[in-house]
Amino acid sequence: MPFEMPSLMSVLPEIFILTAASVILVVDLYLKDSQRVVSYGMAQVSLLLTIGVILLTDTGTRQVIFDGSVVRDTMSDVLKIAMLLISFGAFLYAKDYLRDRSLFKGEFYVLGLFAVLGMMVMISSNSFLTIYLGLELLSLSLYALVAFNRDSVGGAEAAMKYFVLGALASGMLLYGISMIYGGTGSIEFGAVAEGLANPSVNKIVLVFGLVFVVIGMAFKFGAVPFHMWVPDVYHGAPTPVALFLSSAPKIAAFALAMRMLVDGLGSLHPDWQGMLVILAVLSMAIGNVIAIAQTNIKRMLAYSTISHVGFILLGILAGTDKGYTAAMFYSIVYALMALGGFGIVLLLSRSGFEAEQLDDFKGLNDRSPWFAAMMLLVMFSMAGVPPTVGFFAKMFVLDAVVSIDMTWLALVGVAFSIIGAYYYLRIIKLMYFDKPVEEAELTAGLDTKIALSINGLAMLVLGFFPSSILTVCAIAIAQ
């Protein structure tokens, strides 16, 4: 029987977060607007308790349950904990912004928790069907969140664009899955891997299916040339949604790539490696070059995301444990950097004012030297300046690429990193060398300011001790 107690214990974190989201949805119906902080508090406690459930139910061994549909291993546990912590930060940073704009509603946090559940399902998937279910739950929640501000025309437009292109990408992914099922007779990753080893299998059908699977994956990553939704959605969505969208789902996208390409289609590595090389180079090139022309900070960070996705793909295409470890490290570190970057944007925003232009950062050092310093650490980390953790993230990925004799690809990565440093340093120049346009006080709550301070300082502390995360990633990948 697949529904025995040991099986249910392995998916207890998912059951818990689903129950929590449902309870918050019902409780929120009975709350007045002045009591919405209860929904927020319940959502935050749910995230922290889910981390506790993951740690308590960890057996230390790899478990494949529900007839091969779900896997519970060290990699899934580490990625889930990282994603839950990032989501906790995203919910915290969003609170003051939503309250100032009368958007502080329980639905935001319920949709956020369902998105978290979708990511958890993706991370623990062991079949194409499960990964698709998780992906669609995440996507549907994000479509609604992007359009969360009903009075925003830009938000509605961004949500429509995201929905249409997302549906197209999902269709392509399903088509690719159907081709792989036709070629191997299974959708479970272990059985697909065995089917690929069969010499009589039709290789052309499988590679054709692989192309569509990679297209679907590249869309969810926001990799070029499937990136067209990223800048528009980041720009049109409310800033807290852009923050959430840019951080936690990147960890889930890494899991999506690892489960599908490595666990399921590992023997087709020579075929998908070539595809990922093209995606990585184009993402680093277009992301970094177009970001230079942006005057809107959200669009700039969107193109920055695209360039960072190129680096994550570099680690995955290496096809070695070293590469996978580096890509996993980069995904977690990037989510933390995106959280800090958008967090400072939220800090500068207030009721009736959106800090969306680069000029809004002018003279931030005069207004708040401490948070200017935090933004400096985040920007240095994104640019890959030592001794911040972003430098080590880039170095580990490039080292993995060099170790498989693709030095030219590492040099391309270095070249585009140097180009990318320009637009990060431009923000630092605006903060420290220009006169402030705005003189208003930063109005965020104490909890937000403390969290942002920890977020910014983490760039430096993790830069001094990168092995703290890298070792965990290496153990997770090796299992």
Q: Quick one: how far is CA 400 from the chain centroid?
A: 21
Return the number of other C-beta atoms located less than 10 Å from residue 169's C-beta: 21
Q: Is 200 exposed, middle or buried (0-12, 13-18, 19+ CB in 10 A)?
A: exposed
pLDDT score recorded for residue 1: 43
Q: Is 33 exposed, middle or buried (0-12, 13-18, 19+ CB in 10 A)?
A: exposed
pLDDT score recorded for residue 336: 92
Query: What distance in Å separates the CA atoms of residue 95 and residue 347, rounded to the nearest whole number?
Result: 11
Could you list the mean pLDDT of each consecutive 10-residue stretch along the chain, which spans 479 residues? Answer: 68 91 90 84 92 88 84 90 93 87 84 93 91 92 89 87 90 90 84 79 82 89 86 89 90 90 83 89 91 89 92 89 91 92 86 78 85 90 89 92 89 91 90 80 80 90 89 86
Residue among 359, 377, 358 nearest 369 (CA): 377
Contact 290, 230 (CB under 8 A): no
Q: Is 208 exposed, middle or buried (0-12, 13-18, 19+ CB in 10 A)?
A: middle
R_g of the chain computed on alpha carbons? 21
Q: Which residue has the tokens 């942002």?
A: 452
Q: Which residue has the tokens 């980069």?
A: 330
CA atoms within 13 A on the CB side of 219: 20
pLDDT score recorded for residue 195: 80
Query: What distance in Å separates the CA atoms of residue 305 and residue 245, rounded to the nearest whole number?
Result: 11
Q: Quick one: how far is CA 260 from the chain centroid?
A: 17
Residue partners of 277: CB distance under 8 A and separation at least 6: 317, 406, 409
Q: Which of helix, strand or coil describes residue 127?
A: strand
pTM of the model: 0.93
Query: What distance in Å separates the CA atoms of residue 336 and residue 255, rounded to the nearest whole number?
Result: 17
Query: What distance in Å separates the CA atoms of residue 461 and residue 453, rounded to the nearest whole number?
Result: 12
